Amino acid sequence: MGCTGVVTASPKRADDTELDGTGLPIDWSYGAGTEYYVKVTDFPGQPFNKNVTPKLPGPFGICATVSGVLGCLFGQVVD
């Protein structure tokens, strides 16, 4: 509680270097109940990043799909 984190879904090549990402669609999704535990907001100027601010202790899940590749962050807000 009391801090804001950033989750990123930057597209990468097979060798783990970042792609530019310009023009690539991104689809964000959230686990059931996530909105009770965290507030997810846009990161200015970066469609592949989101700010994550805790609201209540509990579990959350944030997923992103870029070019058919799904990646997820599952976390726990602690007091």
Domain membership of residue 49 (yes or no) is yes
Domain membership of residue 22 (yes or no) is no
Domain membership of residue 41 (yes or no) is yes
Domain membership of residue 9 (yes or no) is no
Number of domains in the chain: 1
Flag whether pLDDT at 26 surpasses 80.
yes
Q: How many of the other CB atoms lie within 10 Å of CB of 26?
A: 14
Domain membership of residue 2 (yes or no) is no
The tens digit of pLDDT for each residue in 27-69 reads 999 988 899 999 999 999 888 999 999 999 999 999 999 888 8
Q: pTM for the full model?
A: 0.83
Owning domain of residue 64: 29-79
Q: How far apart are CA 18 and CA 9, in angstroms?
A: 10
* Whether the Cβ atoms of residue 37 and residue 15 lie closer than 8 Å to each other: no
Domain membership of residue 52 (yes or no) is yes
